[in-house]
Copies of this chain bind each other. A is one copy, B any other.
Amino acid sequence: MPSAIILIADGTEEMEFTIAYDTLVRAGIKVTSAFVDDGSSGMKSTGAVHAAKGSRGINIVPDIYFESALTDPISYDLLVVPGGAKGADTMSKHLGVQELVKKYLDAGKYVGMICAGILAALSAGLPNQPLTSHPSVRSQLEKDFDYKEDPVVVSGHLVTSRGPGTAFPFALTLIELLCGKDQRNEVQRPMVFPPDTPW
């Protein structure tokens, strides 16, 4: 069974997080969410359970804390970095996240980034390659990367996407890469997308 780790922080876009997590689970992928601390939660010192407060106020309890993921950093097949301005800021500035992004790609594992989460490609110093992002962070990326406007861009093992509106094709593309086209179709059918949906 393939496995995935999805990062979450205060300010994460909860639709992007939830669509990725839930859709991957539907494909039989074992998914773990890992909380990235911006240093303000007091979580580390108290050890208390901390729910991540999403960008629109939904409180989600993470499965593990990010530090736990670092003990065996490439034990998953896929790393996902969601958007949400504040959450993506925390993640992209976090040295451990930058390191994990590079380690996953160096090990030939998939890394998915969506929306403002693509800022982690910049902060991790990834080489110039095709990618996309939410339009609001485009100007920060287009000098260093071959910027595209496609809903989902696959560049080797780096998969990028634009926002909540592309989160379904983003998640389904990750399933196709990890589990094959048949599994993607199997997951997609019972989700009942309207006729003529372009993915």
Contacts and interface: CB of A to CB of B under 8 A. Distances in A.
Interface string A59-80: 1110000000000000000000
Interface of A: 13-15, 18-19, 21-23, 25-26, 31, 33, 51, 54-61, 134-136, 151, 162-166, 168-169, 188, 190-199
B193 A165 contact: yes
A196 B198 CA distance: 7
A18 B15 CA distance: 6
11 contacts: A14-B18, A18-B19, A21-B57, A22-B58, A26-B56, A58-B60, A165-B188, A166-B194, A169-B194, A195-B198, A196-B196
A58 B192 contact: no
Contacts of A164: 19, 22-23, 168, 191-192
- Copies of this chain, complex-wide, total 2
Contact of A162 (B61, B163, B192, B199): B192
A12 B194 CA distance: 21
